[in-house]
Amino acid sequence: MKHDQYRENIAGRADVADTPELVAYYQQLAELKTGALWTVANKIEPWQPKSSSVPVLWRYRDLREHVLRSVELVTPEKAGRRVIYLNNPGRQDVAAAVGWLYSGLQVMHPGEAASAHAHSASALRFIMEGRGAYTIVDGHKMPLEANDFVLTPNGTWHEHGVEADGAPCIWQDGLDIPLVNAMEAGFYKVHPDLRQQITAPVDDSVALWGAAALRPHNLGWDKPYSPLFKYQWGPTYDALCRAAQASDGTPYDDVLMHYTNPVTGGHVMPTIGASMQRLRPGFVGTAHRHTGSFIYQVAKGEGYSIIDGQRFDWRERDIFCVPSWALHEHVNLSQSEDACLFCFNDLPVMQSLSLYYEEALLDNGGHQTILSEGKA
């Protein structure tokens, strides 16, 4: 076995060639459950991040029929949940869509209801189509419509369903399951009754915590996640439109707003952040890169993104990912319609751990050379 495949001939880096004596030594070290740092130093201390995830665009027109077909193939009782998960070619070992983030498309038919459970993973849902979907979180029931964003934070009892008079629903699930597993902190519980009691008026979370810059007097909150569980599309879109009139936006993302925990002003959950951004008609962004893993769903419009030199054309409901430290730039192809991108990410993790780094592309007017067109 070769031990010198990571040599670099640079001062301050390891550059040790294998010799019979050294290889014998390495063998002795291995028996003691140790190794020589210089054989791996250049590998484990890279000059900059190289993500194991690859950029992927999942086209909804490709996925939709397969998602719907799962209803015929498996029962909710047997499957637990009928979900098609996004499996990044570089992250199949951990079933991640990108980095340490899991994502799947879940389908439910009218009258169906999943059983209640709780886990130490944090979860969110973004509604794609259908009518009558709802989520219940710790006894708080919330009806959901297209482009609504809902939290099921770590440790909460939660369950989903579709009202009997609704239409088949599909939504995107986002979770930090891979991260929680990597951190070896995954716990899972099935609700003893399989169903929760609804203990509060429907949508009370929005009624009490969803007002702009107002906090209910008599309610304490000391959980590490937001007491506001549902963020509706209507007011979110309105907010982006208003902000676009008052702000130049950013060169990379035009007008982008983070969903927040109203109690702290910070991220919605300790491990997952989320945002909605609006690219004005004709917006052509420039490129930057940053650490952290990002999953986008197109909530409105069409355009394309260039990610590490690959162009990905997207339209409504398509999903794509940007791996850590990948250069990316977004373009709204329409000169008359805006485009909106929902995003969830591990930005709270990167910030908590002081591992967020960011850098703009300065060459070529801030635009990447397109190396290839991404294929779904």
Residue list 305-334, contact with a second copy (CB under 8 A): 323-325
Task: Rule CB under 8 A: say whether 37 interacts with a second copy.
Answer: yes
Name the one range near a second copy by CB under 8 A: 77-85, 299-307, 332-340, 362-370. 77-85
Q: Which residue, 94 or 108, is less far from a second copy as judged by CB?
A: 94
Q: Which residue, 263 or 284, is less far from a second copy as judged by CB?
A: 263
Q: Which residues, including other chains, have CB under 8 Å from residue 176's CB and lie 6 or more apart?
A: 100, 101, 102, 121, 122, 271, 272, 346
Q: Which residue, 31 or 165, is less far from a second copy as judged by CB?
A: 31
Task: Rule CB under 8 A: say whether 194 interacts with a second copy.
Answer: yes
Distance between CA atoms of residues 350 and 295, nearest Å = 15
Distance between CA atoms of residues 361 and 367, nearest Å = 7
Instruction: Looking at residues 121 to 140 of the shown chain, list those that interact with a second copy (rule: CB under 8 A).
Output: 121
Q: Which residue, 193 or 369, is less far from a second copy as judged by CB?
A: 193
Cα–Cα distances in Å, from 315 out to 124, 204, 252, 305, 321? 22, 34, 19, 11, 14
Task: Rule CB under 8 A: say whether 337 interacts with a second copy.
Answer: no
Q: Least distance in Å: CB of 241 to a second copy?
A: 9
Task: Rule CB under 8 A: say whether 68 interacts with a second copy.
Answer: no
Q: Least distance in Å: CB of 304 to a second copy?
A: 19
With CB under 8 A as the contact rule, the residue among 201, 282, 360, 364 that binds a second copy is: 201
Distance between CA atoms of residues 178 and 184, nearest Å = 10
The gap from C-alpha 231 to its chain's centroid, in whole angstroms, comes to 16
Q: Which residue, 20 or 365, is less far from a second copy as judged by CB?
A: 20
For residue 106, the cross-strand partners are: 83, 171
Q: Which residue, 165 or 234, is less far from a second copy as judged by CB?
A: 234
Task: Rule CB under 8 A: say whether 360 interacts with a second copy.
Answer: no
With CB under 8 A as the contact rule, the residue among 3, 6, 104, 279 that binds a second copy is: 104
Q: Least distance in Å: CB of 7 to a second copy?
A: 9
Q: Which residues, including other chains, have CB under 8 Å from residue 256's CB and lie 6 or more apart?
A: 249, 250, 275, 276, 277, 278
Q: Least distance in Å: CB of 154 to a second copy?
A: 6
With CB under 8 A as the contact rule, the residue among 77, 165, 222, 363 that binds a second copy is: 77
State phi, psi for 68 to the nearest 5 degrees: -65, -35
Task: Rule CB under 8 A: say whether 51 interacts with a second copy.
Answer: yes
Q: Which residues, including other chains, have CB under 8 Å from residue 43's CB and lie 6 or more apart?
A: 6
Q: Which residues, including other chains, have CB under 8 Å from residue 47's CB and lie 6 or more apart?
A: none
Cα–Cα distances in Å, from 271 out to 93, 161, 174, 179, 267? 21, 25, 11, 9, 9
State phi, psi for 257 to the nearest 5 degrees: -125, 135
Task: Rule CB under 8 A: say whether 164 interacts with a second copy.
Answer: no
Instruction: Looking at residues 232 to 271 of the shown chain, list those that interact with a second copy (rule: CB under 8 A).
Output: 235-236, 238-239, 242-243, 245-247, 249-250, 253, 255-265, 270-271
> Taking the CA of residue 269 as centre, how many other CA atoms within 13 Å lie in the half-sphere pointing to its CB?
25
Q: Which residue, 236 or 332, is less far from a second copy as judged by CB?
A: 236
> Taking the CA of residue 2 as centre, how many other CA atoms within 13 Å lie in the half-sphere pointing to its CB?
5
